[in-house]
Amino acid sequence: MTTDITPVPEQAEEAIRARADLITALVLVGLGLVIVYFSWTMDRLEVRRINPATIPGLVPLLLGGALTVLGAMLAVRSARLVAPGSGAALARVFVSWPVVRIGTVLALALFYTLVLVGRMPFWLASGLFIFAFIVLFETILADRPKPLLPTLLWALGIAIAGGGGIFWVFARIFLVRLP
């Protein structure tokens, strides 16, 4: 009989997933509560004699409530499965190469949305986003990086066509007012 308490790989992986589920559950509960709060504080439109069952915040209120309940259920289940030491293993997962790529996508999307759009023409902001995305993921963040000069030329062509095409489709065909 051995006294080694080191978990076998399947158990360690399950413990990591349980810790990740717990963190996700807490985020979902928080998001659900925020949705419920903002849905509850929306205008009821009673002054316009609108039926209370058709209030604008009713569906988000129900969805936020469901998200909160299901997140709480996931949290309870995950809390029972969390094993000691799974936090360090989960932290190692967050410094992996796929997480760096996901973080880069998130950073690019936020930069595009919060910084570029609205401060320059929409077609230019979209083109810059497309150009940066292609260059980063074809050269720096690729498993097998491509040569820089051909990638720059390819990215520039796609960025011009994509930025202009997106603007043209939405502004001219769908008649959407773009920033």
Residue ranges covered by each domain of the chain: 9-93, 97-173
The phi, psi pair for 134, rounded to 5°, reads -65, -45
N-term to C-term CA, the chain: 70
Beta-bridge partners for 85: none
pLDDT tens digits, residue range 8-41?
Answer: 467 667 777 888 888 899 999 999 999 999 998 8
The amino acid present at 64, given as its one-letter code, is G
The phi, psi pair for 120, rounded to 5°, reads -150, 170
166-170 long-range Cβ contacts below 8 angstroms, 24+ apart: 166/122, 166/123, 166/126, 167/121, 167/122, 167/123, 167/126
Average pLDDT, the chain: 86
pLDDT grade for 103, boundaries at 50, 70 and 90: very high
- pLDDT, position 64: 96
pLDDT grade for 56, boundaries at 50, 70 and 90: confident
Q: How many CB atoms lie within 10 A of CB 16?
A: 21
